[in-house]
């Protein structure tokens, strides 16, 4: 009988959503993006599909916010999800912002929303573009709740 996989307690981000969606990673680009990164301090290079290389970019302050960096992930659907998602979770990386490149919508971290944005759709422009490109702001620091989060709990 195979051993049960223990869920990571290193992060508060739901990395399992990307594994459940069966996303493979085609390319990662180091780049800031609006409105999260007011100035683009990314190096605009393609990052190797390796968790330690991605973590190195965070440690070298490649973002406009201290200790965070912006990345564009180009993804696709696969029968087997990329192992990079698990590696990022194991390193303790947190997702501070996750949005679709096509429509610029901030997405909740669940596999249904991710799969919906893999399809062609319109958004920032009226033209329909293929989905699968996502913007991430990553950090080693846990996501801090804002006053807006507490207001939602009071309602």
In this structure, is residue 11 part of a structural domain?
no
CB 116 within 8 A of CB 58: no
In this structure, is residue 83 part of a structural domain?
yes
CB 15 within 8 A of CB 86: yes
**For 64-69, what is the mean pLDDT?**
66
In this structure, is residue 59 part of a structural domain?
yes
Residue 61, domain extent: 16-154
- End-to-end C-alpha distance for the chain, whole angstroms: 46
What pLDDT digit, counting tens, does each position of 125-152 carry?
A: 889 999 999 999 998 887 665 554 445 4
What is the predicted pLDDT for the residue at 62?
60
What is the predicted pLDDT for the residue at 1?
44
Whole-model pTM above 0.85?
Answer: no
Tell me the β-bridge partners of 24: 76
* pLDDT tops 70 at residue 61: no
What pLDDT digit, counting tens, does each position of 25-45 carry?
A: 999 998 888 877 766 777 888
pLDDT band with cut points at 50, 70 and 90 for residue 84: very high
Q: Strands 23-30 and 46-47: what pairing?
A: antiparallel
Length in residues, the chain:
155
What is the predicted pLDDT for the residue at 120?
95
In this structure, is residue 51 part of a structural domain?
yes
pLDDT band with cut points at 50, 70 and 90 for residue 99: very high
In this structure, is residue 2 part of a structural domain?
no
Distance of alpha carbon 17 from alpha carbon 110, whole angstroms: 5
In this structure, is residue 78 part of a structural domain?
yes
In this structure, is residue 4 part of a structural domain?
no
Is residue 120 packed enough to be buried (19+ CB in 10 Å), middle (13-18) or exposed (0-12)? Answer: exposed
pLDDT band with cut points at 50, 70 and 90 for residue 153: very low
Alpha-helical runs (H) found in the chain: 16-20, 51-59, 84-91, 111-116, 147-154
Domain count of the chain?
Answer: 1
**For 9-14, what is the mean pLDDT?**
80
Round the average pLDDT of the chain to a whole number and report it.
83
The rounded percent of the chain whose pLDDT value lies above 70 is 79
């Amino acid at each position: 009988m195979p051993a049960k996989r223990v869920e990571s307690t290193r992060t508060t981000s739901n990395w399992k959503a990307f594994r459940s969606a069966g996303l493979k990673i085609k390319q990662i680009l180091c780049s800031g993006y609006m409105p999260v990164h007011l100035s683009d301090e990314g190096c605009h290079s393609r990052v190797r599909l390796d968790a330690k290389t991605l973590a190195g970019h965070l440690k070298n302050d490649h973002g406009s916010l201290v200790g965070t960096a912006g990345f564009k992930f180009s993804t696709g659907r696969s029968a087997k999800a990329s192992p990079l998602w698990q590696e990022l979770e194991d390193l303790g990386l947190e997702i501070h912002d996750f949005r679709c490149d096509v429509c610029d919508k901030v997405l909740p971290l669940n596999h249904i929303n991710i799969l919906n944005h893999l399809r062609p759709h319109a958004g920032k422009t009226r033209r329909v573009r293929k989905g699968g490109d996502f913007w991430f702001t990553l950090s080693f620091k846990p996501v801090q709740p804002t006053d807006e989060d507490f207001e939602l709990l009071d309602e």
